[in-house]
C-alpha cells in the first residue's frame, strides 16, 4: 500500500473526475492524478509553490489560497485531497479546513498524513520537529468526526519506505517539500547529516533506508 494506491482505490474511476489538491506544493500529486485522467485544481498558500506547480503541470489549474478558505462554490469538485498537507494548516483552523473541503466536494475528502514516528521522522526532527502539528492534524480529524461534521468511511495505515543514495539526496528531498528548511540545513549540515546516518538503516548497494508510517483516511459529509 502507498498513497497513490489508496487514492486510485477510493477515487476510481479517476478519468474525468474533478479533484481538488489542497496544499498542492510544487504539483507532484497533481501531475500523477492528471496522468490518470483527473481534472485537477491545486491550491497552496505559498506563491512560489504555485509557480512551480504551474510550470510542472500546465494542464492543471492552480491558485494561491489557504486550505481553510477555499475560493470555490459548493460542490465544485468530485473529491478533495489533503496529501501531507493538513498538518501545515494552522491548528485553530484545521477543522474548518476539513469542513470547507467537504463543502466544495460532492464526494470524498481524503486525508493522508505522516505520523510522528519512524526513522524518517527521526532524521527530519532535527531540521523541523513536527510532533505537535502532526498530532494536531490527527486530533482535528477526530474532532471533525466526533462532532459529526464529517463521517469516517475508511482508515488505513501503511509505511512509506524511501531509499537514499546519500545524505545529499535526503537533503534535496526534504527541501523540495519545504524550502524554509534550506537555510537550516546549510547552517547545521554536519549535525543534520549525523542524525541522518544515526536514523537510517543500511540498504542494498550502500543505500540508506528511512521509513515513515502513514495514516490514510477517507472522509465524507456527515
Mean predicted lDDT score pLDDT of the chain: 96
Beta bridge partners of 160: 212
Domain boundaries, the chain: 3-115+129-160+213-221
Give me the percent of the chain exceeding a pLDDT of 90: 95
Locus of grid cell 498537507: 85
Q: Cell 486525508, residue?
A: 111
Q: What was the pLDDT predicted at 35?
A: 97
- Residue 23, classified by CB atoms within 10 Å of its CB into exposed (0-12), middle (13-18) or buried (19+), is buried
pTM for the full model? 0.94
What are the cell numbers at 47?
Answer: 506563491
Alpha-carbon distance of 31 to 121, in angstroms, equals 26
Tens of pLDDT, residue by residue over 185-204, are 999 999 999 999 999 999 87
Contact at 8 Å (CB) between 57 and 30?
A: yes
Half-sphere exposure of 33 (CA within 13 A, CB side): 32
Which superfamily does 3-115+129-160+213-221 belong to?
Vaccinia Virus protein VP39 (3.40.50.150)
Over residues 17-46, the mean pLDDT reads 98
Handedness of CA 133, 134, 138, 144 (dihedral sign): positive
Neighbours of 178 (CB within 10 A): 15
Place of cell 477555499: 70
* pLDDT tens digits for range 126-184: 999 999 999 999 999 999 999 998 999 999 999 999 999 999 999 999 998 888 999 99
**22 touches 97 (CB < 8 A):** yes
| Grid cell for residue 81 | 485531497
Amino acid at each position: 500500500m502507498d498513497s497513490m494506491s489508496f487514492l486510485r482505490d477510493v477515487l476510481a474511476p479517476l478519468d474525468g473526475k474533478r479533484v481538488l489538491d489542497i496544499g498542492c506544493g510544487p504539483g507532484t500529486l497533481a501531475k500523477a492524478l492528471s496522468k490518470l485522467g483527473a481534472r485537477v485544481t491545486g491550491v497552496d498558500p505559498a506563491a512560489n509553490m504555485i509557480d512551480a506547480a504551474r510550470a510542472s503541470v500546465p494542464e492543471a489549474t492552480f491558485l494561491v489560497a489557504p486550505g481553510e478558505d477555499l475560493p470555490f462554490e459548493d460542490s465544485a469538485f468530485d473529491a478533495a485531497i489533503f496529501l501531507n498537507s493538513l498538518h501545515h494548516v494552522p491548528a485553530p483552523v484545521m477543522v474548518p479546513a476539513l469542513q470547507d473541503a467537504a463543502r466544495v466536494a460532492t464526494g470524498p475528502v481524503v486525508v493522508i498524513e505522516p505520523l510522528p514516528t519512524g526513522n524518517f521522522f527521526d532524521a527530519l526532527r532535527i531540521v523541523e520537529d513536527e510532533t505537535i502539528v502532526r498530532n494536531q492534524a490527527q486530533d482535528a480529524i477526530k474532532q471533525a468526526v466526533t462532532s459529526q461534521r464529517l463521517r469516517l468511511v475508511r482508515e488505513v495505515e501503511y509505511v512509506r519506505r524511501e531509499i537514499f543514495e546519500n545524505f545529499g539526496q535526503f537533503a534535496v528531498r526534504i527541501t523540495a517539500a519545504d524550502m524554509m528548511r534550506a537555510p537550516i540545513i546549510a547552517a547545521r549540515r554536519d549535525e543534520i547529516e549525523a542524525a541522518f546516518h544515526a536514523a537510517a538503516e543500511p540498504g542494498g548497494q550502500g543505500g540508506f533506508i528511512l521509513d515513515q508510517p502513514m495514516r490514510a483516511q477517507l472522509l465524507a459529509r456527515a
